[in-house]
């Protein structure tokens, strides 16, 4: 086996082929879009997770404000009842 063939086999073992696109995964190919900088789970995915957590936090905050608008008087009465009982 020649050195060229051996090098080609080692490269094939090093970067598994993505079945969907018939090429190496972007994270290992280097120069991937989105700033992954050649490592799996790089900046693009962590940024995406951060945005998703932010969206969940905003939805929860809106739900709390809406529930306080609708149930604020009842909650205030409940807390007054608890405070007077103690």
Other Cβ atoms less than 10 A from the Cβ of 36: the count is 21
pLDDT at 3: 83
Q: Per-residue confidence at 5, pLDDT binned at 50, 70, 90?
A: confident
Q: SS in 3 state form for 7-58?
A: HHHHHHHHCCCECCCCECCHHHHCCCCCCCCCCCCCHHHHHHHHHHHHHHHH
pLDDT at 68: 92
- Block residue for tokens 């086999």: 9
Map out the domains of the chain as residue ranges: 1-38, 42-86
Please check the confidence at residue 56 and state whether its pLDDT lies above 90.
yes
């Amino acid at each position: 086996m020649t050195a060229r063939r051996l090098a080609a086999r080692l490269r094939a073992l090093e970067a598994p082929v993505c079945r969907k696109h018939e090429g190496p995964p972007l994270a290992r190919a280097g120069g991937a879009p989105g700033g992954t900088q050649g490592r799996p789970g790089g900046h693009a995915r962590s940024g995406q997770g951060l945005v998703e957590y932010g969206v969940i936090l905003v939805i929860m905050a809106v739900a709390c404000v809406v529930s306080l608008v609708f149930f604020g008087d009842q909650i205030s009465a409940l807390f007054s009842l608890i405070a007077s009982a103690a």
